[in-house]
């Protein structure tokens, strides 16, 4: 079992400009690619867990989320970083798209995305952390048994570096 760092996406890896789905409009948070690379180099798995209610609201489709995540993965690869898996929740109880209008276990603050990734990748929950920018991120982490950390900017690499020093080393 390996520990992981779970990242929220909007507001942690990229600026939260509201309903982001177009690569041309994505602005990385300062130090984000380097923070992901540092997590990789520490031997931790790196995951993204993101609520994407824009799908339920009809602003964009799942294929656009997949395309954005592929673009982000390619951008990260250019600096020697990788996300081991992107997970997203397309649901919202007030969505306008019927198939996505629901209450679910994957929408943060519920822990569903973290739990599923943990099972699929044999994650050591007790040595893992979540980095988010909203209380719902920390609540999801807590519900999954993961220690949550609130990121308020401005530089993700500077935020992550001391956390990695506190985490147990991977052998």
Residue 142 domain-assigned (yes or no): yes
Maximum CA extent, the chain: 48
Catalytic residue among 10, 84, 133, 137: 10
Please count the other Cβ atoms lying within 10 Å of the Cβ belonging to residue 67.
15
CATH of the domain at 128: 3.40.50.1000
Report the C-alpha gap between 3 and 98 in whole angstroms.
37
User: What pTM does this model have?
Assistant: 0.96
**Cα–Cα distances in angstroms (integers) from residue 121 to residues 14, 85, 114, in the given order:** 25, 9, 11
pLDDT one-digit tens code per residue, 136-166: 999 999 999 999 999 999 999 999 999 999 8
Residue 96 domain-assigned (yes or no): yes
Residue 84 domain-assigned (yes or no): yes
pLDDT one-digit tens code per residue, 38-69: 999 999 999 999 999 999 999 999 999 999 99
Residue 119 domain-assigned (yes or no): yes
Domain that holds residue 109: 4-166
Total domains present in the chain: 1
Active-site residue 16, yes or no?
A: no
Residue 171 domain-assigned (yes or no): no
Active-site residue 8, yes or no?
A: yes
Residue 52 domain-assigned (yes or no): yes
Catalytic residue among 8, 84, 133, 137: 8
Residue 116 domain-assigned (yes or no): yes
């Amino acid at each position: 079992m390996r520990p992981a760092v779970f990242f929220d996406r909007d507001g942690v890896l990229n600026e939260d400009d509201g309903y982001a789905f177009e690569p041309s409009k994505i602005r990385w948070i300062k130090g984000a690619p380097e923070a992901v690379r540092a997590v990789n180099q520490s031997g931790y798995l790196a995951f993204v867990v993101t609520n994407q209610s824009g799908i339920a609201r009809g602003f964009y489709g799942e294929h656009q989320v997949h395309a954005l995540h592929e673009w982000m993965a390619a951008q990260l690869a250019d600096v020697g970083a990788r996300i081991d898996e992107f997970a997203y929740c397309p649901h919202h109880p007030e969505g306008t798209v019927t198939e996505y209008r629901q209450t679910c276990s994957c929408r943060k603050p519920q822990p569903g995305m973290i739990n599923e990734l943990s099972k699929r990748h044999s994650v050591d929950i007790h040595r893992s952390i979540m980095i988010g920018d909203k209380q719902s991120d920390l609540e999801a982490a807590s519900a999954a048994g993961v220690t949550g950390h609130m990121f308020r900017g401005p530089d993700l690499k500077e935020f992550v570096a001391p956390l990695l020093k506190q985490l147990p080393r991977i052998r």
